[in-house]
Structure 1
Amino acid sequence: MQSVALIVRPDFQVMSLAALSAFEFANLAAGEKLYDISVLSEHGGLVASSLFTSVDTQQFNKTEFDTVLISGAMDRSSASSGIHSFLVEANADSRRVGALCVGAFALAESGLLDGRRATVHWARAKEMRDRFPAIKVEEDRIFIIDGKIWTSAGMTAALDLTIGMVEKDYGAALARTVSQRLVLYHRRAGGQSQHSAMLELSPSSDRIQQSLDFARKNLRRDLSVEDLADAACLSPRQFSRSFREQTGSSPAKAIENLRLEAARLMIEQGRLTLEAVASETGFGDRERMRRAFLRVYGQSPQSLRRTFGSNADV
């Protein structure tokens, strides 16, 4: 059995507690206690969250945990020297240390992120980069693993991080079961952007949403306006007008963004060749995909693959 500890401090984000659900549901799905979960604080007892409630905690002392996580505080105050010392000890003694959302600032203040890649909530990324120039801040990531240290983007990304830990510990099948039991619409991998193409479109009607869902599941197809309109149960003319009114984008541009997002994630995961990625995401060939990447991301798919050190045949 593995032990997991979450450190909280006054005004901590309630969402941090939700991230522990990955371990809770891993226990339920496995039918045995894979994880022993603890909530810690510097002094123990009740600790007030940022949202009307408090949680009972144990006082931390020795770092006898496989995994130590630190939550963020909404008031932007620095963590105490006691928390810094505990995190440094945990980094030496524990198998891994993780920061949920702006909890990454506590790791940064402790010097544990110097020279490492890390992410944080996009709204605080510039602040982290300015205050801690020794950290390689990558704000457009859901979570990052650098050695034994894990950092996550904002809010719900903390759950993606802890599900990623479950997958690392017990495999993809259990992680998928946990995601299903938590009724996650779409499980996000670490390399995925914090800014979702689907979220940015955010149509107001179910019909346009249906067309986008259809497109996301059928990126390999040509996806003409007629196809999308049929999925929305609208005429092509009605569909095109409604789509632009509700999303501010043309259907063609929206589909390209969905393809780019899917292709970027596949490239970062490094499991497929670039030809296969282009085929799977509907670009058809590498050259068309390359032009789209250069236009939107300012770098080629080959460059992105080298950044992530993939051994896949490019």
Structure 2
Amino acid sequence: MTHPADPRATAPAPRLTIGFILAPRFTLSAFATFVDVLRLAADDGDGSRPIRCRWSVLSADMAPVQSSCGVRIEPEERLGDPSRFDYIVAVGGLIDGGPGLSSEEGAFLQKAAAQRVGLGGLCTGVFALARLGLMDGYRCCVSWFHHQDFLSEFERMRPISDQIFVVDRDRLSCSGGVSAAHLAAFLVDRHLGRAAARKSLSILMIDEPMQGDRPQPGLPLELSPRDPLVRRALLAMQQNLHAPLSVARIARDLGVGRRKLERHFSSDLGIPPADASVRIRLAQARMLLARTDRTVTRIAEETGFCDASHLIRVFRESEGMTPDLWRQGQAEAGSDAGQLTDVASP
């Protein structure tokens, strides 16, 4: 029997309902961030009552599910009828995190698709949907870090790794991390309105909702390594943008010689490791120029260049103009796009 104090006993039916299926070793941050956006949109203030939104963790056997960081989540409901939800969202994590979803969970997702319930994949949750054939004919978002993993497993599909999330009809997917918050805000905006979405993100200290086509921060698109050693080296470069590691240090940390690492880069990407490092840092510099008002000096510091002069010289060699002129061009292009949108709006 429902307790009288439970807001669900007297409140109107929620306008957005989501069931979650957690894969073994799922990413806790993506799940928690997504849920927190729902939580903050569901009630007035920070009351956290599931009034306007309702969410539940689903399971076939109700056993706790361990996340990749070791924290366990206890399911709240058995699978049952998927049509009681607006969306079913699979939350993935480590690619080699174990057996994956159970056969019962797979059948549940397929039943949800047959009933035209929206399906979502957070982080590597889209892998689970694709393994069930539920992404066939759909566009899907995959983190740049798992782009090659996806291609290796699903040769006929072309994942999108230059956007933070993708919505294609009744399929939703995101790259993980903070993009989960923006995908959740997209759904809140769709079902509850923009004010509710902005409120959630503001409380979470996120400046504003991002559209799905916002580029993923990460590797430049031309760096699509197939070699596992090269991928590990690129990740080390990405994680040390502000203080770039020497090629010798990266090779040593990976347990190989410098010449071996250089051979792998040459074979896989056709460039030496040092050039790849510069491309990664330039990509980050472009992102900061386009999205922030930070000075060139500060951007140089944050992206591992010696000083502003060094960044300006390397940037000019790459883009044919200084960072300030490039930023001005981006701002003018954005302004022109905004004017076109205004003209096209009814």
Same fold, TM exceeding 0.5? yes
Deviations 1:133-172 (CA, angstroms, capped at 9, x unpaired): 3433111111001111001013221121111111111222
Whether the aligned pair in 1 keeps the contact of 2:19 and 2:87 (CA below 8 Å) is: yes
Tell me the equivalent position of 1:153. Answer: 175
Partner Cα separation in structure 2 for residue 187 and residue 39 of structure 1? 25
Partner Cα separation in structure 2 for residue 254 and residue 146 of structure 1? 35
Tell me the equivalent position of 2:18. Answer: 4
TM-score with structure 1 setting the length: 0.67
Please report the RMSD computed on the Cα atoms of aligned residues, expressed in angstroms: 3.9
- 1:272 is displaced (CA, Å) by 4.2
Higher alpha-carbon deviation: 142-151 or 166-175: 166-175
Partner Cα separation in structure 1 for residue 327 and residue 242 of structure 2? 14
Q: Return the index of the structure with the highest Cα Rg.
A: 2
Q: What is the SS of the residue equivalent to 1:273? A: helix
- 1:9 is displaced (CA, Å) by 2.7
Higher alpha-carbon deviation: 137-146 or 73-82: 73-82
Deviations 1:153-204 (CA, angstroms, capped at 9, x unpaired): 132211211111111112222211211111014532100111279x999668
Cα 1:131–1:246 change in 2 (3 A) is same
Partner Cα separation in structure 1 for residue 207 and residue 92 of structure 2? 25
Residue in structure 2 matching 1:119, options 141, 152, 157: 141
Corresponding letter in the other structure for 1:168: R
- In the alignment, structure 2 segments of 5+ residues that lack a partner are 1-13, 220-237, 244-286, 299-304
- 1:119 is displaced (CA, Å) by 0.9
Q: What is the SS of the residue equivalent to 1:139? A: coil
Residue in structure 2 matching 1:42, options 56, 60, 69: 60
Residue in structure 2 matching 1:173, options 192, 195, 215: 195
Tell me the equivalent position of 1:142. Answer: 164
Tell me the equivalent position of 2:210. Answer: 188
Cα 1:37–1:126 change in 2 (3 A) is same
Cα 1:213–1:154 change in 2 (3 A) is closer
Deviations 1:260-310 (CA, angstroms, capped at 9, x unpaired): 77788889xx76429x9xxxxxxxxxxxxxxxxxxxxxxxxxxxxxxxxxx
Tell me the equivalent position of 2:38. Answer: 23
Partner Cα separation in structure 1 for residue 122 and residue 91 of structure 2? 5
Q: What is the SS of the residue equivalent to 2:161? A: coil
Tell me the equivalent position of 2:228. Answer: none
TM-score with structure 2 setting the length: 0.61
Whether the aligned pair in 2 keeps the contact of 1:271 and 1:312 (CA below 8 Å) is: no
How many pairs does the alignment contain? 252
Residue in structure 1 matching 2:102, options 77, 80, 91: 80
- 1:245 is displaced (CA, Å) by 5.6
Whether the aligned pair in 2 keeps the contact of 1:142 and 1:152 (CA below 8 Å) is: yes
Q: What is the SS of the residue equivalent to 1:159? A: helix
Residue in structure 1 matching 2:86, options 50, 66, 72: 66
- In the alignment, structure 1 segments of 5+ residues that lack a partner are 205-211, 219-226, 233-239, 277-310
Q: What is the SS of the residue equivalent to 1:7? A: strand
